Amino acid sequence: MNQIYESLVAAKEKGQKKFAVLIDPDKLRLNNFERTIDLAISANVDYFFIGGSLVVNNMLDDVLKNIRDKCQIPMILFPGNSFQLSYKADALLFLSLISGRNADLLIGKHVVTAPFLKLSPLEIISTGYMLIDGGKPTTVQYMSNTTPIPSNKEDIALCTALAGELLGLKLIYMDAGSGAINPIPEQMIETVSGGINIPLIVGGGIKTPEKAFANVSAGADVVVVGDALEKDPVLMSELAAAIHQKNMEPKKSSFPK
Ligand code: 1GP
């Protein structure tokens, strides 16, 4: 039942880095979609994250079914709101927006959705979601009505992530927001990953294999890319190779935190 989370923890323990491709059903062009799946299979993509800030069309079920018909890559819902639920996925990131002070997104929506999730066959993974300033106002910032953590405030980011871990959240997801001008600086990734024991997901504005490699080198366990792949799906194999390249290096021993 906790297969996906256990695979993430096991990978972290071994220093194995994972690549997640974000698919936003709203931005999907069908001709690109089939190609994206084929590219993901050949690039050994580890996860699909499915979601967006709005999701105004009704393609969520179709997207999930189409992916599953073609491959076994785990499909993890990354919901922008409570309506983005489908039992066709494998897991759901149960996001609490811990960088913000919007009570609804910290616990309110969760109270409403909890009974549905309890009955669902989905693996529910509680996730501390942290919005980091990415150089321009993003959709998630506007929709959530919260202020992101400034990208040079590593101490705030670390304390926020630590609070999430101590509250029992299973993952930390640091996000500069889709299409961010500035992805999260490596220094912040290093500070946060060095202080927590749970897996760290990093995304938002990553456009190059170099930045993806720098992020996993700085301590990100999962790197998520969406926007750059919508523009150029062929980039997928280079990003995957850069992230997985880190898995060829011997793991450095570390002292327990
Ligand atoms: C956004 O972290 C994801 O929530 C991915 O960001 O679309 O900019 O790659 P991009």
Q: What's the pLDDT tens digit per position in 6-16?
A: 999 999 999 99
In whole angstroms, give the CA distance from residue 106 to residue 236: 33
Pocket of ligand 1 (CB under 6 A): 22, 175, 178-180, 203-206, 224-228
Contact residues for 185 (Cβ-Cβ < 8 A; gap 6+): 151, 152
Residues shown for the chain: 257
- pLDDT at 82 exceeding the cut of 80: no
Give the number of the atom of ligand 1 that is nearest the alpha carbon of residue 225.
9
Name the residue of 178, 184, 223, 235 whose CB sits within 8 Å of the most ligand 1 atoms, as the mutation to test its pocket: 178
CATH 3.40.30.10 fits 3-245, yes or no: no
In whole angstroms, give the CA distance from residue 104 to residue 46: 31
* CA neighbor of 236 nearest in space, from 216, 201, 206, 215: 206
For the segment 144-164, the average pLDDT, to the nearest whole number, is: 97
* CA neighbor of 136 nearest in space, from 44, 205, 48: 205
* CA neighbor of 117 nearest in space, from 147, 151, 80, 92: 92
Rounded alpha-carbon distances, angstroms, from residue 143 to 43, 53, 105, 140, 177: 33, 7, 11, 5, 12
Per-residue pLDDT of 229-245, as tens digits, reads 989 999 999 999 999 99
Instruction: Output the residue whose Cα is nearest ligand 1's atom 5.
Output: 204
Give the number of the atom of ligand 1 that is nearest the alpha carbon of residue 183.
8
Provide φ and ψ at 191, rounded to 5°: -65, -45
For the segment 180-188, the average pLDDT, to the nearest whole number, is: 98
Confidence band (pLDDT; 50, 70, 90) for 127? very high
Confidence band (pLDDT; 50, 70, 90) for 163? very high
CB 161 within 8 A of CB 196: yes
Provide φ and ψ at 81, rounded to 5°: -160, 175
Name the residue of 224, 229, 232 whose CB sits within 8 Å of the most ligand 1 atoms, as the mutation to test its pocket: 224
Q: Assign residue 219 a region (left: φ > 0; alpha: ψ between -120 and 50; beta: otherwise).
A: left
Rounded alpha-carbon distances, angstroms, from residue 191 to 59, 85, 127, 211: 39, 33, 19, 17
Query: Is 78 exposed, middle or buried, given 0-12, 13-18 or 19+ CB atoms closer than 10 A?
Result: buried
